[in-house]
Amino acid sequence: MSVTLATTYHPRGEVDRLEKLYPALRAVYSDIIISLPPTAAPDDVARLQRLGGAQVFVNPDWSHGRYAALKTALESGSAYIHYVDMDRLIRWAETRPAEWRAAVERVQQCDCLVIGRTESAWSTHPRVMIQVEHIINRVFSDVLAQMLDFGAGSKGFSRDAASFIIANSQPGRAIGTDAEWPVLAHRGGFHVEGMLVDGLDWEIPDQHQGAPASAERQRQMAAAYDADAAHWAHRVQTTIEVIEAGLDALRRPLAVTPSLE
């Protein structure tokens, strides 16, 4: 079987680490799609475009990034697609390579795999993220009748499931895809499964670092993050976006795709 990596990426000082990691990515994925926002630095874009075997493009609107990555991955012809935010993938593959490879193997056994965080991974995040994402998880775990962690930025799809999702969605609600994509897969009759991993721990402390952040740096930055009221406001707004997108995916009329006729 073959798995295409579909990823969105706003480089924040991690390109050196990605270049070192890239041979390992090429050994696992048959194709690599990197979707960038219009604010990506030109030098970073040029470096990524020089990566052999990767399809790299800049979106006109940042909110189109996840949709464009998944849609482009479908064009690769792979049987399965692993979507993951690139900053999370870099940390995951650096710190827990065996677990990451095991997750890619699991992707190839599922129609829709929602890859979430263990308690250990959750414990590295700021308190605001834990509290607001718990709301999202409670709402949509009830909808799908199983406990899942929707916001870890990593999901796997069979080709048929991804085709159905693209046929029944539009670009524009980037963060909302956390709930929208699994809900659509569920409505399309595809089996949705969950997997918890340690490697999707908090990645923001890695920014502009030459190596993955230590647990102590994660703790210090989580405390500072929680101390800023603007972060609480931002996370509440993000939660609203995800819930609205998921509920809309639950209610909207569905298009019929050839794979489901």
Tell me the mean pLDDT in the region 200-207.
98
Nearest to residue 256, comparing CAs of 190, 164, 159, 161?
164
Q: How far apart are CA 225 and CA 242, in angstroms?
A: 21
| b (16+ CB within 10 A) / e for 114-135 | bbbbeeebbebbbebbeebbee
All domains in the chain, ordered by first residue: 3-260 (3.90.550.10)
Predicted confidence band of residue 257 (pLDDT cuts 50, 70, 90): low
Average pLDDT over residues 205-215: 97
Residue with tokens 């680490």: 17
pLDDT score recorded for residue 212 = 98
Question: How many angstroms separate the CA atoms of 196 and 29, rounded?
Answer: 21
Gap between the Cα atoms of 238 and 252, Å rounded:
21
Percentage of residues in the chain having pLDDT higher than 70? 97
pLDDT for 173:
87
Instruction: Choose among 133, 128, 91, 153: nearest CA to 225.
Output: 128
Predicted confidence at residue 261, as pLDDT, reads 43
Structure tokens at 250: 């639950």
Six-digit token string for 136: 């999202």
What global pTM score does this model have? 0.96
Backbone angles phi, psi at 136, to 5 degrees: -60, -45
> Please, what is the average pLDDT of the chain?
96
pLDDT tens string 131-186: 999 999 999 999 999 999 999 999 999 999 999 999 999 998 899 999 999 999 99
Q: What is the pLDDT of residue 258?
A: 47
Sign of CA dihedral 103, 109, 112, 114: negative
Q: Are the C-beta atoms of residues 43 and 147 closer than 8 Å to each other?
A: no
Phi and psi, residue 2, nearest 5°: -130, 145
